[in-house]
Amino acid sequence: MRSFILAGVMVFLTACGNLGFPGVYRIDIEQGNIVTQDMVDQLEPGMNQRQVRFIMGTPLVEDSFNKSRWDYPYVIRNGDTVIREASVTMHFEDARLANVTGEPLPAWADKTE
């Protein structure tokens, strides 16, 4: 009898764990580097890594196995919902900027709302 009550309580608590409180405010969480088109427009092929870092800032992801690739991801989330997402990747050859891939944030995104 005791094991049935214990099992019932465990099932009840497990079911309650998936419920969210109604009306709970969730803040927007920004993660990553803000990269705008203006910043990308300043980049030129052949720039060294120091010049790129001055314009773009420190990359969020610097691959330890591939030093010739820098990633600048950016995400805004509200709980589990992705509101805005962008990613820019820099590729280097011989420590010089070879190309830039990805899409930066639109110009309106860097203004406060």
Name the β-bridge partners of 36. Answer: 105
pLDDT at position 112: 46
Q: What is the mean pLDDT of each run of 10 residues along the chain (113 residues)?
A: 82 67 77 88 94 93 85 86 87 93 71 46
Amino acid at 17: G
State how far the Cα of 63 lies from the Cα of 95, in Å rounded to an integer: 14
Residue 18 falls within a domain, yes or no? no
State how far the Cα of 47 lies from the Cα of 97, in Å rounded to an integer: 5
Q: What is the CATH number of the domain that holds 73?
A: 3.30.1450.10
Residue 61 falls within a domain, yes or no? yes
DSSP string, 6-71: HHHHHHHHHHHHTPPPTT----EEEEE---BHHHHHT--TT-BHHHHHHHH-S-SEE-SS-TTEEE
Residue 20 falls within a domain, yes or no? no
State how far the Cα of 41 lies from the Cα of 10, in Å rounded to an integer: 57
Residue 4 falls within a domain, yes or no? no
pLDDT at position 42: 94
Number of domains in the chain: 1
pLDDT at position 18: 59
- Residue numbers of the domain that contains 94: 27-110
- pTM here is 0.67
Residue 5 falls within a domain, yes or no? no
Residue 42 falls within a domain, yes or no? yes
